[in-house]
Structure 1
């Protein structure tokens, strides 16, 4: 056998051995996963819906795998700080992001990001989805959305709307209302839903787009008036509250979602294992009941289907953002 052919054969054998070793290493990783605590990064402060869901998932992951799960709240920059900490983390399945729709809205808002949303983060599972509620202070002389629009037009540059973060669904929804109703509501972004809802309850805000999950304990408190909801259908918690779509507004149908992501490069076997377990947890009767009581729709969607949702929703949000000429503050 010529020397060159022998050398090629040896190289081929060496490559095959290396590939086999690599494959064996990945399988070993997934079989032993998890072998240490898992960190669930929430890019928003404690108390909001994202935080509640993270703690619910974390508690059940611990019960399933007997490994500690640590909820790590990393608020700031409308979620970018927490998102980036996961995008830059080791791709081993031990740093997990609990993210929201703002993740895929930011690119359309031309936000400068230190990561590539669609390449640096891998979708694992969709937990749940929710609607936003447009609420006003009870002192507002308006019992319907049309009455509010008429009042706000008659008193320009007076009212503001609070959102649970710059570049979030609530920000987009508020700017869409400004454009479609011809209003000039001033955007007041908060660093999470909990602080926003608290200021709405205390009367610091005149109006707000609040997440139904964060507002759920106060829906019937009388401390704010609910005029309309986003989403394709009325909420079962608020059957008397009309949707924006019913009232003639456009592009309010998409729901906000809560999902799980890991860094790019995380072995597929680990992604699949984590995905299957989270979906199983979400569909447990006690967990799905808790999620429903938060005012959320229970999804429990695995990685492949969640990736399709991201692609479809990114196009919908991009179109809505461009039509409303929304820019991040």
Structure 2
């Protein structure tokens, strides 16, 4: 082959490679080129909806492009989740999911796979849970509580904010690891759970940090989930510090896109969300809800999702948790 022929072949190959990248580059450059739907799979008015509208407003202002929050509630969030999983893979449909997304596969039949049909963007907010007992409880530590329940078989129940939720899974995990026989009492949400705890109808409950924050003085908190103590409760040890495992996962509110969205498009959106999460007023809004600000990279959030899914699936199987 002559040198001129080699040059022509090389030039042709270079042009071919460049041409292959043009559609993705063009898509990334023009994105967004239509309104973005930010789907909330729960009713308007809750924490998920509030976070979605906070993020949507800031992105819309910066990009000068409509970001519309669409509430698609029903079936424990699965209707909205499925809508986004099956949406066009152009980056204009985004899901704001909660931890239930990766807790549900062992509990119910789904039309999508949370780990295969979505691409993580980032967690925008994080929520530990607390293990609360009545202020007059004789238990001052988790070890005290376990001994108390064992000494009174059949007399203790624990409240959760719903069957199949984090608080239900955490309660059954304590039953399993502590050898306890507490009866599960589910409520339709965390607010009525707190009302019943404050009214003395329940002896103990697992409550998310956002809901319990205004009521911390009403309860005795014996443990918190996660790997670190909560700043609001610096003297309360984690479950791990007290010899209990698999309480590391934290509740989260996370953004996800359909699995086939081009990586450059997803990264452009993730970079914008990371900018928004650094805004002082946004951080203040999230922290004002009793939550911690997120902000991981897509790769870091993907790792969290996989790890959490494995832990929850193992607990659900070992504790034989079922949805009635």
> TM-score if structure 2 supplies the norm length?
0.81
Question: How many residues are treated as equivalent by the alignment?
Answer: 311
Are residue 116 (structure 1) and residue 105 (structure 2) matched? no
CA distance in 1, matches of 2:131, 2:238: 10
**Which shows bigger deviation, 269-278 or 38-47?**
38-47
Aligned twin of 2:5: none
Aligned twin of 1:237: 232
Are residue 270 (structure 1) and residue 265 (structure 2) matched? yes
Structure 2: give runs of 5+ residues left out of the alignment: 1-15
Aligned twin of 2:241: 246
Structure 1: give runs of 5+ residues left out of the alignment: 1-15
Which among 297, 303, 310 is matched to residue 315 of structure 1? 310
DSSP 3-state at the match of 1:219: helix
Are residue 297 (structure 1) and residue 322 (structure 2) matched? no
Q: C-alpha displacement at 1:285, in angstroms?
A: 3.1
Q: C-alpha displacement at 1:133, in angstroms?
A: 0.8
Q: How does 1:17-36 map to 2 (within 5 A)?
A: 20=19, 24-36=22-34
Are residue 161 (structure 1) and residue 161 (structure 2) matched? no
**Which shows bigger deviation, 45-54 or 266-275?**
45-54
- CA-based RMSD of the aligned residues comes to 3.2
Contact kept? 1:48, 1:214, Cα under 8 Å: no
DSSP 3-state at the match of 1:118: coil
Q: C-alpha displacement at 1:236, in angstroms?
A: 0.4
CA distance in 1, matches of 2:36, 2:194: 30
CA distance in 2, matches of 1:188, 1:95: 37
Are residue 90 (structure 1) and residue 88 (structure 2) matched? yes
Q: C-alpha displacement at 1:237, in angstroms?
A: 0.9
Aligned twin of 2:276: 281
Cα distance change, pair 200–88 in 1 and its aligned pair in 2 (3 A): farther
CA distance in 2, matches of 1:160, 1:297: 29
Q: C-alpha displacement at 1:123, in angstroms?
A: 0.9
Deviations 1:229-258 (A, max 9, x none): 111121001112222122222221232332
> TM-score if structure 1 supplies the norm length?
0.80
CA distance in 2, matches of 1:315, 1:138: 35
CA distance in 2, matches of 1:280, 1:186: 45
